[in-house]
């Protein structure tokens, strides 16, 4: 990546007043921590055309104009202005180049703004480093060979033998093996088991990670893992084709239970009320449910843990256009009216009342998992093959509920796609599961049981999609 921005930005930088304006806008609208900055942001940070406050709000860098993604583009084209700044991440967009531009000089200005914020300084310099123990030093001194992953590398790519309609399990395991944070945890061998040998699913997963990433290419058989899951999830204990979604939920529950039991006592929850085990910390978020009584307007709010969001695909139709994952999420979080036989008990009115209900996300997980509900639970378990588009980069900001506390940090709720599971067939009781996984930033692979082949992003995004897995783009501290 070039350290110098485009020619249009270079012309803009020649004027010192332009750089000072850029610094002020970034300091107030992106980083600002003072009460004065907050007041200025509240009074001015909205689209001058449609009055919306986001997402994707931009500020023109050549005049005093704020606009949403649609209207900022109309503005710069009509007035022939070139540069605008995204007010969430502080990125510079060049209309002439049609892309976001990186420039080391402007990056220095943004970094200085962040450093002047006390909260940013605390975050940057008060984080603790890693200090290896003597045992770790000894181990590292004998393991000096570096492993590099390249397009031709086989590190982390292992086929899985189908043990008889176990493609559903193979796909879920491939997703777990390529979950970045989970991989980093298990490759450092952090799990210390207290159970009997051969009975801990976390030990089995830990061994699988070591096998996957030691460089061999011979396909693996997951008979031990399958036996452990069957032992703890009786409803899956048969040789029939199972639903990959159900197996994913059951696997997370078993891993969570065994992780939790092996942790030192006392086991306390973290600030976000999650279990401190690695499984919950990565996969579990908080689902907020707001029920509003239409008589007294009282609000009943509950927050429940959730590890995968199941989205309806059949009712999603938009004027003949191809529906998207965003459309499904908007439908999932829309306000629903409850009346007639669906009245709810109001704790304040002490009677059944008409109400509205809305689901939103209270706490985002590190890995956001989605199920597109393609199976109807009828006698034939018919499949809904509606084509749903899904993006490589997903911003979950519009689907967060509750009060959004004003923070000096830009709220970065972007996620990057790293795995997709597809079902091939017309019914859940028959067919075949395959998985696409992202090994590195630009390398995609198709996992069809023991066969692993190269794929590309376009192939992944044009696939049907059943289970979608997104990893948080930027991790934050609790």
Q: Is the pTM here over 0.95, yes or no? A: no
CA atoms within 13 A on the CB side of 56: 12
The DSSP 8-state label assigned to residue 264 in this structure reads: P
Average pLDDT of 4-26? 88
Structural domains in the chain, CATH included, are 7-124 (3.30.40.10), 148-262 (3.90.70.10)
Least confident segment among 38-47, 336-345, 367-376, 422-431: 38-47
Q: Above pLDDT 90, what percent of the chain?
A: 32
Measured CA to CA, the distance from residue 193 to residue 243 in angstroms comes to 30
Computed over every residue of the chain, the mean pLDDT equals 82
- pLDDT tens readout for residues 380-439: 667 888 889 999 999 999 999 865 544 444 467 899 999 999 999 887 778 899 999 998
- The pLDDT score that the predictor gives to residue 436 is 97
- The pLDDT score that the predictor gives to residue 269 is 57
| Known catalytic residue at 47 | no
Residue 367 banded pLDDT, cuts 50, 70, 90: very high
Q: Does the pLDDT at position 195 exceed 80? A: no
Burial of 49 (0-12, 13-18, 19+ CB in 10 A): middle
- The residue assigned the tokens 């429940």 is 304
Q: Does the pLDDT at position 40 exceed 90? A: no
- In sequence order, which residues have a C-beta less than 8 Å from that of residue 40 and are 6 or more positions away? 28, 29, 32
| Known catalytic residue at 171 | no
Ranges 23-27, 354-358, 365-369, most confident: 365-369
Catalytic residue (one of 6, 68, 167, 275): 167
CA 378 to chain centre: 32
- The pLDDT score that the predictor gives to residue 343 is 85
Q: Does the pLDDT at position 465 exceed 60? A: yes
Catalytic residue (one of 81, 232, 331, 432): 432
């Amino acid at each position: 990546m070039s350290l110098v921005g485009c020619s249009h930005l270079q012309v803009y930088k020649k004027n010192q007043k332009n750089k000072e304006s850029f610094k002020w806008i970034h300091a107030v609208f992106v980083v600002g921590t003072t009460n004065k900055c907050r007041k200025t942001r509240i009074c001015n940070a909205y689209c001058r055309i449609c009055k919306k406050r986001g997402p994707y709000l931009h500020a023109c860098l050549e005049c005093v104009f704020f606009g949403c993604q649609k209207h900022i583009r109309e503005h710069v084209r009509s007035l022939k202005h070139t540069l605008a700044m995204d007010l969430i991440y502080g990125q510079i967009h060049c209309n002439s180049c049609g892309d976001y531009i990186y420039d080391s000089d402007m990056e220095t200005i943004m970094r200085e703004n962040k450093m002047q914020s006390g909260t940013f300084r605390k975050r940057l310099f008060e984080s603790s480093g890693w200090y290896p123990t003597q045992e770790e030093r000894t181990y590292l001194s004998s393991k000096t060979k570096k492993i590099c992953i390249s397009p031709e590398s086989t590190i982390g790519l292992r086929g899985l033998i189908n043990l008889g309609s176990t493609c559903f399990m193979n796909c879920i395991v491939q997703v777990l093996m390529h979950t970045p944070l989970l991989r980093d945890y298990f490759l450092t061998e952090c799990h210390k088991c207290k159970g009997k040998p051969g009975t801990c699913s976390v030990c089995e997963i830990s061994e699988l990670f070591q096998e996957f990433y030691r460089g061999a290419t011979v396909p693996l058989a997951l008979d031990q893992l399958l036996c452990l899951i069957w032992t703890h999830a009786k409803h899956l204990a048969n040789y029939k084709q199972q639903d990959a979604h159900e197996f994913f939920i059951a696997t997370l529950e078993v891993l969570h239970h065994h992780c939790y039991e092996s942790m030192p006592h006392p086991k306390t929850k973290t600030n976000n009320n999650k279990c401190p085990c690695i499984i919950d910390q990565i996969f579990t978020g908080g689902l907020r449910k707001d029920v509003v009584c239409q008589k007294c307007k009282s609000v009943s709010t509950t927050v429940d843990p959730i590890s995968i969001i199941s989205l309806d695909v059949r009712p999603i139709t938009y004027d003949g256009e191809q529906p998207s994952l965003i459309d499904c999420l908007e439908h999932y979080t829309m306000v629903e009216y409850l009346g007639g036989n669906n009245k709810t008990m109001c704790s304040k009115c002490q009677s059944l009342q008409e109400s509205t209900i809305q689901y939103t996300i209270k706490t985002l997980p590190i890995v956001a998992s989605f199920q597109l509900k393609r199976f109807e639970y009828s006698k034939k378990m018919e499949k809904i093959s509606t084509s749903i588009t899904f993006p490589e980069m997903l911003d979950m900001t519009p689907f967060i509920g509750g009060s959004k506390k004003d923070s000096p940090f830009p709220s970065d709720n972007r996620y990057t796609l790293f795995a997709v599971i597809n079902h091939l067939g017309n019914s859940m009781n028959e067919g075949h599961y395959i998985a696409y996984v992202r090994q590195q930033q630009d390398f995609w692979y198709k996992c069809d049981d023991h066969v692993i082949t190269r794929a590309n992003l376009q192939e992944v995004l044009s696939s049907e999609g059943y289970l979608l897995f997104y990893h948080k783009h930027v991790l934050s501290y609790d």
